Structure 1
Amino acid sequence: DHVKDNRLKRWRDQEYAYDAWGNLIEKRSGMGKLQTFRYDCENRLVRAETLVNGKLESIGSYRYDSLGRRVAKVSEVNGKTEQKHFLWQGLRMLREERPGQSSLYLYEPGSYAPLARVDQAEGEEQQLYYFHTDQIGTPLEMTDADGSIVWQATYKAWGAVEKLAVNDIEQNLRFQGQYFDDETGLHYNTFRYYDPEVGRFVTQDPIGLLGGVNLYGYAINSTVWIDPLGWCSSALGRSMGAKSGDGMANHHLIPEELMKAPAYSQMFKKLKSMGFNGDGASNGIFLPGKSDLAKQIDLPGHWSSHSAYTKAVNAELSNLNAAFKTGRLSDSQLVLGVGRVQRMAREGLESGKYAVDKITGRLL
């Protein structure tokens, strides 16, 4: 009865079954609840059904665009059918539409942490709502333009809502990059679906072992780390010898979004051919993962986005890339150049060069 490949077979009163590609196809809860899941050829969830005591309780069907982003869903819960369409800005959900109503989402710059939502119902005035989030960008409250709380929740450790204290309007954002589906209880997480009851994804990591040896695992510590795309990567932490429970977070000196930026693709391709590893220890530094620890050891805190820091590193990287494109840099000069960018970033973090939030100490 061996369980292969980190697949969860039983947990409490729940049993799980998978297909040959490692996708969750069946989840039984207790004696009476059965959920089934169906996928397309790219392992994307396209249909889910929930039966309770043999009676069909809910159905969900889903469609995606060529980039893998979910663009539509049709759900039926207890006989009530709802259709939604989703518009995207890059990999962030920008707009949610249903017949006669739409919601526009605004986020922190360079982040998936929500700031506000603008609702527009047909024939009515716009309604503005503000998100109030925790240290990792998870919504705790939503208030209207007058400051009245219209939605409020508390969570369990891995993101399942424990209690909806106020639920005057629908609010489905959860961990950064996640959207709650009432018909399944799962969170849509851009490139995968996440089960908040067990803190695991229901399909294997699309980037394979680059995300770690556990292909179903979420971020190691859900109070510090986030995984807005469903691509959990702990490679940097492993390279640096991260210790679980010490309160420190792994920070890329040259941020991942810069290493993956199309403008720098040729430069980093060349660097990788010479042994550069963006997840290597030389490109990392431990930063405090909580506000109290940041103040205690006098280093910038790292638990959310840091657009100002990324902009500063980008300026240095842009100069190096411009020199690289001239063709006048030798291989050794290019390696030394990227090393200088890393050293500048490390020394800047340790000396207080970069801006931090004055209240929390978080790197901006």
Structure 2
Amino acid sequence: EVQQGGQAIASYRYDYQGLRRQKITAEGTTDFTYDTSGHLISQQTKGGQDNGQRDYLWTDTAPIARIDSPIGQAKVHKDWLPQALMGFLHHHEGKEHDRAARLYYFHTDAMGTPRLATDAKQQVVWRWNEDAFGAKVSTDQEQHGHRNHDRDHGRSHDIEVNLRYPGQYYDAETGLFYNWNRY
């Protein structure tokens, strides 16, 4: 449980493996689902402005995409072919679905850290410019007034991406980074 001024602002539930399965805040409840490697593959939030489902797609170690959709309207199917060691994503198109779901692509560095996110129109919607020690790295875009950064440093952005270095998930309520089963 996270408290601020003596008031609970968030509580968490974990499974027997130490994976966070649920977060409860005044805005709503978020349920988390992981694959067998411990990668976050889905989070579903009920209540508040973030009401909806987020599905994450991964290579072996790096996130490659996220699909945001209203709860109950996700039209994404994932198939895994173990003999070929590959998976396929089936993203169903259509007028109703196009209005409901949003697809974002993650651009990662050599470690698998998301550094940039683009939308289906190839527009940059999020950027994370930090070095390996968390120091801010200046870019040409920042020097020219473009603002599109992560929430945990109070910067503006088009979307919120809480994935960080491999195994890290940023938690806004605590300001901490969830690191593969531990803070």
Please state which band the TM-score falls in when normalised by the shorter chain.
Answer: 0.5 to 0.7
Matched residue of 2:147: which SS?
strand
| Aligned CA distance change for structure 1 residues 172 and 115 (closer, same or farther; 3 Å) | closer
Higher strand share: 2
Q: 1:105 to 1:29 in 2, by over 3 A?
A: same
Query: Which structure's residues are more often helix, by fraction?
Result: 1
Q: Give 1:181 shift.
A: 4.5
Partner of residue 39, structure 1: 14
TM-score by length of 2: 0.62
Query: Runs (4+) of structure 1 moved beyond 4 Å?
Result: 137-144, 181-186
Alignment of 1:136 with 2:132, yes or no, is yes
The 1:75/1:86 distance shift into structure 2, 3 A limit, reads same
Q: Deviations over 1:77-106 (max 9, x none)?
A: 536412101111112212111122111112
CA distance in 2, matches of 1:130, 1:37: 27
How many residues align structurally?
Answer: 148
Largest Rg, 1 or 2 = 1
Query: After superposition, what is the alpha-carbon deviation per residue over 1:102-150, rounded to whole angstroms, capped at 9, x for unaligned?
Result: 11112223x1344432211xxxx33246846233175767888xx7623
Contact 1:49 1:59 in 2 (8 A): yes
2:170 alignment partner AA? F
1:170 is the counterpart of 2:159: yes
TM-score normalised by the chain length of structure 1: 0.34
Q: For 1:178-327, list aligned pairs within 5 A.
A: 178-182=168-172, 186-189=176-179, 191-192=180-181, 201=183
2:103 corresponding residue in structure 1: 102
Change (3 A) 1:131 1:57: closer
Check the 8 A contact 2:66/2:103 in 1, yes or no.
yes
| 1:151 aligned onto 2:148 | yes
The one-letter amino acid paired with 1:163 is: G
The CA RMSD measured in Å over matched residues stands at: 3.4
- Corresponding residue of 2:72: none
1:174 Cα offset (Å): 6.4
Structure 2: runs of 5+ lacking an equivalent: 70-100
User: Structure 1 188/67 Cα, relative in aligned 2: closer, same or farther at 3 Å?
Assistant: same
Where structure 1 has 5 or more consecutive residues not aligned to the other structure, the ranges are: 1-25, 51-55, 154-159, 194-200, 202-364
1:73 offset after TM fit, Å?
0.3
Distance 1:40 1:78 in 2: 25
